[in-house]
Structure 1
Amino acid sequence: MGRFQLLKVDRQLSKEEQINEYLKQDNAYWLNNDKWDSIEDIFYGKRIRSKRYYDFSNLKSNRYKNEVKFYFLYHFKEELLKYNSLSVMGSALSHLSNCINVNTLLDIDIDRTNIKWKLYLINHGIKYKGKTNSNYFAFMNNLMKFIHDFYDDRDETDKDIWNIKNIRGARIPASGLSNPTLDFSSIPQYYRKVVKSYLKTIITKRSASHCFHMLSRIKYFINSFYSRDYKDGFIEQLNRQDIEDYLYLLNNDFRDNNPTYRSKFISYLRTFLEYIQLAQYKKAPKKEVSFLIFQDDIPRRELNKDEVKKAKFIPEPVVKQLDNNIRELDRIQYIPFYILLRETGWRGTDILNLRYNNCLKRYWNKKEEKYNNQLCGDITKTGIANLKIPIRDQVAEMLDSCIKKTKKKSDDNNNPKKYLFNMYKGPRKTRPFSLTVFVNSIRRLIKEKDIRDHNGELYHFTPHQLRHTRAKEYIDQGMGISIIQQILGHTSLQMTIHYAKISENKLYEKWKETKDLELFKVETNIENNQTNLEPKSKENLIRYEYIKENLDAVKVPFGICFKPSKLPCKKQLNHCLNCASFCTSIEHIPEYEAEIIKVKEHIVRSEKNGKDLWVEKNRAYLKLLEKMLIKIKEEKIVHKNARTREVQSNG
């Protein structure tokens, strides 16, 4: 099983024998002694919270006793709990024998036993309050689930509660999961296998978070029908009216939630139903899903109003203070982590997922004739593997130092996945740093340095703000949006545009550059409630020459065309020259020659300013003019429908 891979015992033994073998560590001290002494060198080596002994002697059955011992020893050896938590659990042992005495923990029902345990604790004066008492209440549940899980040899996806960590190929972020389970037990038995089969197909393709949300939406859908007295088989018989009733119920239950939240209850459901229908599951809807759920049923996704108002990037004064004070962070091991977040704009989970054996690359820059540094890592959310982005030399030096330190401390037992920011002890052993610990450390720094927002309140920091901030900085420096997309690891350019906002200062600078154009002057007389658009002087009406030479423009008769380059226009280049009703003769030759000179001059200006598109279009116009001029000189008069009009007139 996934969570017990560190057990170094013979897999051919029975589960009971494996437990006994595990307890034979340290010359069988744990197996032969029913009273463990915390001051022993193989144990804590000291008293913990004035507690010295862990007494298992009151547990009557040897099998039951060894199961409880196994639970304690495994968590102690693998450093899965803090010493204080183990100490509280040790105190709970005195109550355990009085409340539960069985041959094996496999013989008891978990839900009923939890209720019995809680009532026992309350009756003995232990109330649910504070962290210590909560450990008393959670102890029994954790113990039973641990032992039941150990004995259960089924494939994880055959169970009704999946531990995602035990599923090979599941997409779990390096920082871990707050809730690693997918619980199918509340789905009625008739449809449980169908839902499990579907989740099994996506568990290795989509993120664990997506699978969790998908399951919760499917649960709501199925249970909402059963709560309204629908019976087994209702999905197969679904019709449009059933879906409309479901939508009405959904909109009432979640009327206070934003459209984005509600939309997933419909879009996720449609995805699920479409899949089981295409896969020809027996319990799929008989009617085509497209006739059940319409696109218009899905609310248009939008951000919560509060999220729209809230700036997602860190204001410049705040980020400068953070950068200047980051060296005083109370957890110095998180300083390189912060620097990499600032340097790259990557998500915190992607920085935590960096591996010390391949995160720093160097490549030869032919133009500069030197080696440049690259950060290399996987972007887990979008599935981009081995993304490489440039980093500054100073950051590369810091990263190289971190790599050497991590490599020196790491081995196959304490850092098997070669994380750059690895934990070597405690509950997070073999896992990366905690984002929560990092955020709390930054917030303490903000409080200590009195870093405040524009409202005068202590700044509320979240790590994702650093990503938005970096995107804005890239934009301010003039970096192309497609380059920013690659650096941030976005699969969609639309997402990059959502992140990339120009700062107010840069917006003002760019606006000021165009201010000198003075396309027109506006004078507002507030007292007379009149707005005067007349120019102050002829020179300031329109800076015509500047526009002709610098903007995208095509020379046309009597003026310039500023039509946007992407908009088609039949009249822009042809004018009347190709019209069947157009008539021209040798008396217009001077006009053609003058127009040809003007177009040639405009082509030269366009080439000078790099306006390749308009060079091409004006050349086409020039060719048409020259062709018409030659024709006039040959035929003296050009009129396509002349003969037709003459015949009509004579008739």
Structure 2
Amino acid sequence: MKIQEIKSNQQSKYEEIIEYLKQDNGYWLENDKWDLTQEVFIGEKIYNSRYIDFSCFKNKYIKNEVKYYVLFNFKEKYLTNVSILEMSYRLNPMGGFFSKYYKDKISLIDINSDCLIKGGNFLIQTNINTDKSLNICKSKMASLLHFIKDFYDDREETEKDIWYSKNIKGVKIPASGANNGKNNRVSFEEIPIYYRETVKRYLKSIITTRSWSYCINTLSIINKFFKFFYINKYADGFLENISRCDIEKYIFYITNKNMDLCKDELHKNIAWIKKFLEYIQMAQYEKAPKKEIYYIIFPDDIPRQENKSIQVKRVKFVPEPILKQLDNNIMDLDRPQYIPMYILLRETGWRGTDILNLRFNNCLEQIWNNKEKQYNYYLCGEITKTGIAQLKIPIRYKVAQMVQKVIDKAKMLSTEKNNPKKYLFNTYEGKLKGKPLSKQNLLLTIQRLIEKKDIRDVNGELYHFRLHSLRHTRAKEYVEQGMGISIIQQILGHQSLQMTVHYATVTENTLYEKWKNTEDLELFKVDTNTNELEQVDLNSEDGEKLIRYEYVKKNLDAVRVPFGVCFKASKLPCKQQMNHCLTCASFCTTTENIPEYEEEIEHVKKQIDISKRCGRELWAEKNKTYLRLLEDTLTRVKEQKIIHKNGKSREEA
């Protein structure tokens, strides 16, 4: 065969392979037996093995593709020495398999992935008789086929059957999300071919507006939906004519045959299918259901999600004795690079992904403190989950010194190739090069420390550790130290005050002390010009308003919120959880909150500027809406002195 025999659209890609193999004076192209002891290769034997032999591949073109796969992954340090040795053991049976069944194929891309079944049978016949060896060999073969097919495929990523997050511009993936191979790709290969383009088009519509994990979970549920109907002998075209009867069968299967699923998962398996079907119908997809979805899936079909109070009960705090042991022994972690990550988790209460998302070029900032006449250190990061472009929180001087040392080391080790995104905690080589350190590896490292130091819970069991428990624990510490709930919300980067309240509990003793200190009620007002406290003339109009205001605060379960007080009855759910309290009828605000408004307005203006600089137009628009609401409320407060929509009716009720 000559190179002209390769399809014209594959020629240039195959020529790239040849050029790549010509490196090191053509050593890789000219030799079918690579010597591990060569300086251009490993430089030594691996467990007494010296050669990798490709001569078992009789088809020259397939042989060069396999060589390219091994060399590329070696050069990019995606394969460890042990992985290279494992691969060398599998070459001979793979070569024999391809030579026997696909000797006339010009390229590996002409071989379907279902060849793995045939390959498994061939491997058994060639005396690979252990499940472990068989699975490793099939895994290497599958990896090889996927790699080569992806190399030749020049289509847009969203036109392919497998999408990699790194190849889709604007995808919303957390810093740690791509560490796991399962998390950095979505595969449509299990979706029936007849509906594959429909599902791909739907995923494409949400891939840059929803999180990557949401898209993975959505595809998994849609795949389960189609699999159910095809297993039950439904044919291509069933979706267009789907009926209420068909949906009832699916709902019965989900709710009665999946008893291991929690309430939230049961909810998603029906609610997300409803959302999918509604969308493709409204968007007039060719293969959308003909009957209106509200005649097919009823609101009562969708199981209720888990009660928020149950979720709150699951919030887990690290017990104080265990926390002290961890803090005292953390310097003994067997992987020292994870020590600063743990310290920042303890110091800030941020999520693990927020810490991993820190960048060495802008994560530490000094801000002048007028009152203390000195610069204070702030940790700066993007909180992707709640859309905060740049959150700045103060950190202690010793912690700042530690961060600075990590920054200096990251600058020294980083290049445009091994750390293009300037991660503070970066992986500098290997398959995950350019990605942050693994959150899972930090967890495993801490677990090994717990075993080494024999840290046990009250039941005498080795403590089961969760990174997110540090976040809950830090929130509780903030409250017990007397920090206001709205400040804690800002530090933790929560979207709603309600979420902060869920996490921010206190011990009974601390609760008693705080209650005791605030039991005595004093009436006062703040002069907005001097910020001084003034006595109130109780006979004046302002005095009457303030008496009523303070009475309600004390007797009607009022809760302090940003810019004012919430008079919502404690048993009622908060309808403003995902909105600002400023628009809530239970909210009350007075002139004493004016400085808060002015400070927040300046803060939001800065956030708008930052969002624009970061190219986050959606965040900028949301902040502009919030800014208009703040400025309007401030104007009304200055005019009316006190604002409370429910007024006297709440007090008199």
Provide Cα deviations, 1:314-361, integer angstroms capped at 9, x if missing partner. Answer: 111111111111111111111111111111111112211111111112
Aligned to 1:121: 123
Q: Is the contact between residue 120 and residue 134 of structure 2 (CA under 8 Å) also seen in structure 1?
A: no
- Larger mean CA deviation between 255-264 and 77-86 belongs to 255-264
> Of the candidates 247, 250, 255, which is equivalent to residue 251 of structure 2?
247
- Larger mean CA deviation between 209-218 and 240-249 belongs to 240-249
CA spacing shift, 1:369–1:142, aligned 2, 3 Å: same
Q: Is the contact between residue 554 and residue 562 of structure 1 (CA under 8 Å) also seen in structure 2?
A: no
Q: Distance in 2 between matches of 1:58 and 1:12?
A: 24
Aligned to 1:87: 85
Q: Distance in 1 between matches of 2:87 and 2:400?
A: 46
Q: Distance in 2 between matches of 1:567 and 1:493?
A: 15
Deviation at 1:26, TM superposition (A): 1.3
Q: Distance in 2 between matches of 1:286 and 1:616?
A: 52
SS in 2 for 1:137: helix
Aligned to 2:455: 451
CA spacing shift, 1:362–1:229, aligned 2, 3 Å: same
Provide Cα deviations, 1:230-269, integer angstroms capped at 9, x if missing partner. Answer: 4444444445444334322221122332211100012212
Aligned to 2:194: 190
Aligned to 2:146: 145
CA spacing shift, 1:192–1:22, aligned 2, 3 Å: same
Q: Is the contact between residue 315 and residue 472 of structure 2 (CA under 8 Å) also seen in structure 1?
A: no
CA spacing shift, 1:147–1:356, aligned 2, 3 Å: same
Q: Which structure 1 segments of 5+ residues have no match?
A: 1-10, 518-551, 556-560, 570-612, 622-651
Aligned to 2:108: 106
Counterpart of 1:172, as a letter, is I
Provide Cα deviations, 1:120-160, integer angstroms capped at 9, x if missing partner. Answer: 33333334455x76433311111111111111112121122
Higher Cα Rg: structure 1 or 2? 1
* 1:40 maps to 2:42: no
* 1:497 maps to 2:495: no
CA spacing shift, 1:306–1:121, aligned 2, 3 Å: farther
TM-score by length of 2: 0.74
Matches within 5 A, 1:451-600: 451-507=455-511, 509-510=513-514
Q: Distance in 1 between matches of 2:375 and 2:210?
A: 37
Q: Is the contact between residue 36 and residue 42 of structure 2 (CA under 8 Å) also seen in structure 1?
A: yes
Aligned to 1:520: none
Q: Distance in 2 between matches of 1:562 and 1:418?
A: 53
CA spacing shift, 1:229–1:363, aligned 2, 3 Å: same
Q: Distance in 1 between matches of 2:195 and 2:122?
A: 37
* 1:321 maps to 2:319: no
* RMSD over equivalenced CA pairs, Å: 3.3
Aligned to 2:411: 407
CA spacing shift, 1:364–1:553, aligned 2, 3 Å: closer
Aligned to 2:61: 63
Q: Distance in 1 between matches of 2:422 and 2:43?
A: 30
Provide Cα deviations, 1:22-51, integer angstroms capped at 9, x if missing partner. Answer: 111111111111111111111111101111
Identity over the aligned pairs, expressed in percent? 53
Q: Distance in 2 between matches of 1:616 and 1:384?
A: 29
Q: Distance in 1 between matches of 2:57 and 2:245?
A: 59
The count of aligned residue pairs is 526
CA spacing shift, 1:365–1:288, aligned 2, 3 Å: farther
CA spacing shift, 1:293–1:477, aligned 2, 3 Å: farther
Aligned to 1:155: 156
Aligned to 1:432: 436
Q: Is the contact between residue 165 and residue 172 of structure 1 (CA under 8 Å) also seen in structure 2?
A: no
Aligned to 1:171: 172
SS in 2 for 1:244: helix
Counterpart of 1:72, as a letter, is V
SS in 2 for 1:142: helix
Provide Cα deviations, 1:526-559, integer angstroms capped at 9, x if missing partner. Answer: xxxxxxxxxxxxxxxxxxxxxxxxxx9769xxxx
Provide Cα deviations, 1:171-204, integer angstroms capped at 9, x if missing partner. Answer: 2222223413322233233322221111001111
Q: Is the contact between residue 34 and residue 52 of structure 2 (CA under 8 Å) also seen in structure 1?
A: yes
Q: Is the contact between residue 113 and residue 145 of structure 2 (CA under 8 Å) also seen in structure 1?
A: no
Deviation at 1:399, TM superposition (A): 0.7
Q: Distance in 1 between matches of 2:360 and 2:485?
A: 30
Counterpart of 1:214, as a letter, is T
Q: Distance in 1 between matches of 2:512 and 2:129?
A: 61
Counterpart of 1:59, as a letter, is F
SS in 2 for 1:186: coil
Counterpart of 1:405, as a letter, is K
- Larger mean CA deviation between 90-99 and 504-513 belongs to 504-513
- Larger mean CA deviation between 308-317 and 179-188 belongs to 308-317
CA spacing shift, 1:512–1:457, aligned 2, 3 Å: farther
Counterpart of 1:326, as a letter, is I
Q: Distance in 2 between matches of 1:502 and 1:562?
A: 22
Q: Is the contact between residue 553 and residue 614 of structure 1 (CA under 8 Å) also seen in structure 2?
A: no
CA spacing shift, 1:306–1:119, aligned 2, 3 Å: farther
CA spacing shift, 1:330–1:133, aligned 2, 3 Å: farther
SS in 2 for 1:14: helix
SS in 2 for 1:84: helix
Q: Distance in 2 between matches of 1:246 and 1:471?
A: 42
Q: Distance in 2 between matches of 1:475 and 1:229?
A: 58
Q: Which structure 2 segments of 5+ residues have no match?
A: 1-8, 522-545, 559-565, 570-639, 649-653
Deviation at 1:70, TM superposition (A): 0.3
CA spacing shift, 1:116–1:13, aligned 2, 3 Å: closer
Matches within 5 A, 1:195-274: 195-274=199-278
SS in 2 for 1:293: coil
CA spacing shift, 1:128–1:431, aligned 2, 3 Å: farther
